[in-house]
Amino acid sequence: MVHHGTLVFVTLTAIVSIASAAAPVTFVFGDSLTDVGNNNYFQYSLAKSNFPWYGVDYIGGQATGRFTNGRTVGDIISSKLGIPSPPPYLSLSQNDNALLTGVNYASGGAGILNDTGVYFIQRLSFDDQINCFEKTKVRIKNRIGEKATEQLLNNAIYLIGLGSNDYVNNFLQAFLPDAQQYTHDEFLDLLISTLDKQFRRLYLLGARKIVFNGVGPLGCIPSQRVKSKKGGCLKQVNIWVQQFNSRVQQQILDLNKRLPAAQLSFADSYPAVLDLIMNPTSYGFKISNTSCCNVDTSVGGLCLPNSKMCSNRKDYVFWDAFHPTDAANIVLANKVFAMIFAHSHSPAPAPSPH
């Protein structure tokens, strides 16, 4: 089983030193939980959030392509590190200076598997995101040379958060091929073997300090609760997620033994998210079983412009059927940050939303 609330490291010292570095370089890979606007650049993508009421609590009050009312967990962790949130890859020009300071490749609807989220039409799967990182490496090398590029990439931190869509927008959708073709054990083997190749590919491209953020209790998010007769958490879904997290943890331990100088780690955010959902009042919230935005879960569960918002967004853990509110992301970011940088001098807590 998963060792709850733990972070697996072979060595902490190198990653911890990033917290005190002047300007750590971070590369972010993920899905809609960390997308900062990449999907805005896809004309036909159905996984978009560049419309009201998304961004209502973000700086300027405008939608940016973030799938929440304010900031993502990644935004808040960047703030705690004292750096700007890395910009979306698709917003950058060939020779953009931002390439040297960190890039966000996350894409709403993305999964570990390339066929995850296929009905969104356009999105960057994890393989696509790694392809984009490979192009980034070439551009950086053209700017600063091969030796300096290797040093920059070896010292950078790679934040990865994927796997949720492989369940929510793949295996848990009975009409999709993977749900019909595989038992869960077989599907899990496919996820882990695919992820193994992806970790190794990132390593060959120069990544050494990789943090994989585990999948949360998907059985308790509003889009899944509506499938329960009493509106409770779907236990089987949560069991599957914990099995996935446990396998990734073991995989990371194995890779650290096999790959020289690799410092892969697993941030188990599952218990933190579960505690926030089960005990919302302990964190200053009132409602965690449904979303602030009155969404229609039968047509995607996003907060559409004609949706009705709740009056006090800080009372809710969830913004829409899938994604936490800015207020909840502050709680989760602080917990994940404490896991990653547990032995470092922690910077100041993230400021409240504007």
Report the catalytic residues: 32, 320, 323
Distances (CA, A) of 22 to 19, 124, 158, 276, 340: 8, 31, 17, 33, 17
Which residue is it, tokens 């192009």? 135
> Rounded to an integer, what is the distance from CA 332 to the centroid of its chain?
12
CA-CA distance, 44 to 263, in Å (whole number)? 38
Distances (CA, A) of 12 to 83, 112, 128, 153, 229: 21, 26, 29, 18, 45
CA-CA distance, 151 to 185, in Å (whole number)? 39
Q: Cα-flanking dihedrals φ and ψ of residue 198, to 5°?
A: -70, -40
Which residue is it, tokens 């009975």? 174
- In eight-state DSSP terms, residue 119 is G
CB 45 within 8 A of CB 39: yes
Other CB atoms within 10 A of residue 29 CB: 27
